[in-house]
């Protein structure tokens, strides 16, 4: 990365912070009916690349109010914490956020489950669980996203044996298009449940989720720099299995992977020193940011310092609360048996990626049984790209990435940018007909069907 590019990123970072302070994204809320409250509302997504197509944001304070709202609206779409980069959460008519419904409903220690209201974020839930001696199995790179929104798009962390974040959902409650309160659980409705958890926001408005939990655990995080690509290709399984959760960060510009983040589960008071080298990579001697030129102050503690699961699994700290960031993300899932070939194929695009890419991250995700999950019945790796906010350039480069990964049946992340045609996307999901039937059952008139759903799920155009 040239000093010029790194300077540009620092400027972007500073600009983002000042936008936050100025609160320049605030816009007036327009009511759709009498039950809406007049409040100030942010009308863009987190990255600021998308202005939502409606001014109507509804913020119910109770389930009853929400039910009435859904009945009153002809068209509506649930909105979470706005972290998707594409139009999956958008609506031309009404968005409904359950951000005020954000309490823990119950903690069942016997069953090892927690039931939460759907407006809760991981940042709110994790400390609650940890204080009571419990943990979730995995987390995404940052904790500020809502649990409902994350599960809807099959958001994932990393780990060869860790399924995506939705895999710990055991039951959910939502309001369907008639305003009726529906509960589905893995135990009582196994078939529908597999279609309903990764729901792309199409099923209705989620009000509650029950999640499987486990005893709280300690972790340490060690970072290595400059892993030779040849080592990665020869030892992929071993490298990705070297911790509970492993992330590779690279800009593809050399024959080395820039950083390997290894997150290990440990016993209390683990003081073992990390090995100085790892498959030819060297142990970092201080905390570093995935983009090495940026300050690591917002990153979770590294250098092998033991800490609780929720302060090591995400890359970024809970108390760092970015409410917008000038970047664009795209990501593709490839079945794990093609991991090495897929990485090699992307590395061929280094010149095209160079001017656009801030950093790539490669993670492992275990298989699951959710119809619309990119990891449906297949363990995957995900190759992620954090890019400069240059939509035109990204739109030129994404088809190249998709073409390079096409032989491996790559599926895009539902919440990030992609260029794939609906026909191609639909052909990658064998359970799509069942998913459409499930949506039709709870939403026969398409009340919750936005343009994204119409285009990618229901259309038959190319």
3-class secondary-structure state, position 111:
coil
| Of 82 and 274, CB closest to ligand FAD | 82
| Of 79 and 380, CB closest to ligand FAD | 79
| Of 163 and 304, CB closest to ligand FAD | 163
Q: Smallest distance from the beta carbon of 14 to ligand FAD, in angstroms?
A: 17
Which residue do the tokens 């974040």 mark?
165
Beta strands in 45-123 (DSSP E): 57-58, 77-79, 95-97, 104-108, 113-117
Q: Smallest distance from the beta carbon of 273 to ligand FAD, in angstroms?
A: 29
Q: Smallest distance from the beta carbon of 329 to ligand FAD, in angstroms?
A: 6
Contact positions toward ligand FAD, by CB under 6 A? 46-47, 77-84, 88-89, 98, 118, 140-142, 145-146, 148-150, 152-153, 155-156, 200-201, 205-206, 325, 413, 415
| Of 274 and 360, CB closest to ligand FAD | 360
Q: Smallest distance from the beta carbon of 293 to ligand FAD, in angstroms?
A: 18
Helices first, then strands: H and E counts in the chain: 13, 22
Given a contact cutoff of 8 angstroms between Cβ atoms, the answer to whether 66 and 98 are in contact is yes
Given a contact cutoff of 8 angstroms between Cβ atoms, the answer to whether 244 and 219 are in contact is yes
3-class secondary-structure state, position 239:
helix
| Of 57 and 89, CB closest to ligand FAD | 89
3-class secondary-structure state, position 219:
strand
Q: Smallest distance from the beta carbon of 327 to ligand FAD, in angstroms?
A: 7
Query: Rounded to an integer, what distance in angstroms lies between the CA atom of residue 270 and that of residue 305?
Result: 9
| Of 258 and 386, CB closest to ligand FAD | 386
Q: Smallest distance from the beta carbon of 370 to ligand FAD, in angstroms?
A: 14
| Of 148 and 457, CB closest to ligand FAD | 148
| Of 208 and 220, CB closest to ligand FAD | 208
| Of 145 and 343, CB closest to ligand FAD | 145
Q: Smallest distance from the beta carbon of 277 to ligand FAD, in angstroms?
A: 28
The sign of the torsion formed by the CA atoms of 441, 444, 449, 454 equals: positive
Q: Smallest distance from the beta carbon of 345 to ligand FAD, in angstroms?
A: 21
- Please report, to the nearest 10 degrees, the dihedral formed by the alpha carbons of residues 137, 186, 155, 200 taken in order: -170
Query: Rounded to an integer, what distance in angstroms lies between the CA atom of residue 86 and that of residue 108?
Result: 36
Q: Smallest distance from the beta carbon of 456 to ligand FAD, in angstroms?
A: 11
| Of 144 and 264, CB closest to ligand FAD | 144
Residue 310 burial (10 A CB sphere; 0-12, 13-18, 19+): buried
- Please report, to the nearest 10 degrees, the dihedral formed by the alpha carbons of residues 452, 454, 460, 462 taken in order: -20
| Of 152 and 213, CB closest to ligand FAD | 152
Query: Rounded to an integer, what distance in angstroms lies between the CA atom of residue 201 and that of residue 216?
Result: 30
In the numeric block, which tokens belong to residue 356? 């656009």
Query: Rounded to an integer, what distance in angstroms lies between the CA atom of residue 415 and that of residue 141?
Result: 14
Query: Rounded to an integer, what distance in angstroms lies between the CA atom of residue 104 and that of residue 102?
Result: 7
Q: Smallest distance from the beta carbon of 151 to ligand FAD, in angstroms?
A: 8
The sign of the torsion formed by the CA atoms of 117, 317, 263, 366 equals: positive
DSSP state, residue 272: P
Q: Smallest distance from the beta carbon of 187 to ligand FAD, in angstroms?
A: 21
Phi, psi (rounded to 5 degrees) for 309: -50, -40
Q: Which of 4, 214, 251 is nearest to 130 (CA)?
A: 214
Q: Smallest distance from the beta carbon of 268 to ligand FAD, in angstroms?
A: 27
| Of 117 and 222, CB closest to ligand FAD | 117
Query: Rounded to an integer, what distance in angstroms lies between the CA atom of residue 14 and that of residue 12?
Result: 5
Given a contact cutoff of 8 angstroms between Cβ atoms, the answer to whether 161 and 241 are in contact is no
């Amino acid at each position: 990365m040239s000093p010029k590019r790194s300077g540009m990123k620092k400027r972007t970072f500073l600009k983002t912070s000042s936008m936050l302070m100025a609160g320049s994204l605030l816009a007036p809320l327009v009511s759709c009916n009498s039950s809406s409250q007049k409040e100030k509302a942010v009308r863009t997504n987190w990255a600021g690349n998308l202005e939502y197509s409606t001014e109507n944001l509804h913020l119910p304070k109770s389930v009853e109010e929400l039910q009435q709202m859904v009945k009153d609206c002809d068209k509506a779409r649930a909105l979470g914490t706005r972290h998707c980069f594409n139009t999956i959460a958008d609506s031309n008519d009404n968005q409904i956020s359950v951000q005020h419904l954000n309490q823990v409903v119950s903690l069942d220690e016997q069953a090892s489950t927690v039931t939460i209201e759907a407006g809760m974020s991981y940042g709110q839930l994790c400390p609650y669980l940890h204080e009571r001696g419990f943990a979730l199995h995995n987390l995404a790179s940052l904790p500020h996203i809502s649990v409902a929104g994350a599960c809807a798009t099959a958001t994932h962390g990393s780990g060869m044996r860790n399924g995506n974040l939705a895999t710990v959902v055991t039951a959910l409650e939502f309001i369907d298009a008639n305003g009726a309160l529906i509960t589905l659980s893995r135990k009582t409705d196994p078939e529908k449940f597999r279609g309903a958890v990764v729901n792309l926001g199409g099923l209705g408005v989620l009000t509650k989720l029950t999640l499987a939990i486990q005893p709280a655990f300690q972790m340490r995080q060690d970072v290595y720099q400059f892993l030779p690509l040849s080592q990665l290709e020869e030892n992929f399984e071993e490298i990705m299995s070297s911790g509970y959760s492993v992330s590779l960060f690279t800009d593809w510009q050399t024959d080395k992977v820039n950083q390997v983040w290894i997150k290990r589960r440990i016993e209390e008071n683990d003081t073992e020193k990390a090995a100085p080298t790892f498959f030819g990579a060297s142990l970092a001697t201080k905390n570093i940011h995935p983009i090495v030129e940026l300050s690591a102050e917002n990153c979770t503690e590294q250098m092998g310092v033991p800490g609780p699961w929720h302060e090591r699994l995400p890359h970024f700290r809970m108390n760092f609360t970015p409410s917008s960031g000038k970047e664009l993300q795209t990501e593709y899932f490839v079945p794990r048996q093609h991991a090495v070939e897929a990485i090699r194929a992307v590395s061929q695009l280094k010149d095209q990626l160079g001017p656009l890419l801030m950093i790539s991250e490669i993670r492992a995700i275990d298989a699951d049984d959710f119809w619309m999950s990119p990891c449906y019945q297949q363990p995957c790796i995900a190759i992620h790209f954090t890019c400069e906010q240059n939509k035109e350039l990204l739109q030129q480069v994404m088809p190249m990435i998709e073409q390079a990964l096409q032989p491996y049946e790559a599926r895009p992340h539902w919440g990030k940018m992609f260029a794939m045609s609906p026909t191609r996307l639909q052909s990658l999901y064998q359970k799509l007909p069942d998913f459409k039937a499930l949506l039709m059952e709870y939403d026969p008139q398409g009340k919750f069907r936005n343009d994204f759903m119409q285009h990618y799920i229901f259309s038959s155009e190319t």
